[in-house]
Amino acid sequence: MEERGFALINPENTANEFRLDGKAAVITGGASGIGRAIANRFAMSGACVHILDSGGREAESAAKEIAETGGKAQAYECDVSQQLKVNAVLQRIFGQGRVHILVDNAGIAHIGKLENTTEEDFDKVFQVNVKGFYNCMLSTVEHMKANGGGVILNLASIAAWIGLADRFAYSMSKGAVIAMTNSVARDYLADKIRCNSISPARVHTPFVDGYLRKNYPGREQEMFEKLSRTQPIGRMAEPHEVASLALFLCSDEAGFITGADYAIDGGFLNLRG
């Protein structure tokens, strides 16, 4: 039985919930942080993962780590802001067989309000965080249409929903991600393509540690604790927690979910104050 082309799950067959056996997933920015956690979790759940990252060596390291634990992974150096390069890499992957899942995660941060965001800063954030997602979805949608559908998951941010101090360009980019997610979900219903997004609050990644070392030398632990307390739950998220939500949204168990954004924010949006 099917509903609008999306296969329904037999509730009696739950032994392999949240598995991705036999599926291939492309994960951008998969060499570090949230992307690396997603790549590892998907591989542990049976998927063959294709890791795209601007850092070729880092991507190879991530793929090697997965292979050493029995998973399947391949690495590709790719700047997602360059459409021709994205298309060339993805066509290589499509040549190996069907891709069932695209996770758009590659992104860059920027700190600054409107007045101290230069045109160069703005364009750089836009090229990676907005155009990069567009480039990857554009190359993937036609493939998914021709192969019976698929799942697209975009990494947004709570910055898309609420005004965060000194995050003008970054917030702009993540608002665009949610808008693109909704548009793709609407336009490709008939093609059996689901598209959702995740909006994390602060996540403890190597980026956070590097930011604290650079901006607060000698005060890293103090500032880490201060930033952690901005989430009502009292801490930052861990990358593996975001990966768990990503796994669910890309699994068959989430077959009735499309056009949705999921906050994973320790209560930041609804429980502050």
Q: Locate tokens 């599926």: which residue?
A: 23
| Catalytic, out of 76, 134, 170, 262 | 170
How does 41-61 read in b/e, with b if 16+ C-beta sit within 10 Å? bbbbbebbbbbbbbeeebbbb
Catalytic annotation present for 188: no
Tokens of 47: 């998927």
Closest CA to 160 of 67, 9, 28, 262: 262
∠ CA 236-43-46, nearest 5°, is 130
- φ, ψ for residue 146, nearest 5 deg: -75, -10
Catalytic residue numbers, as ranges = 170
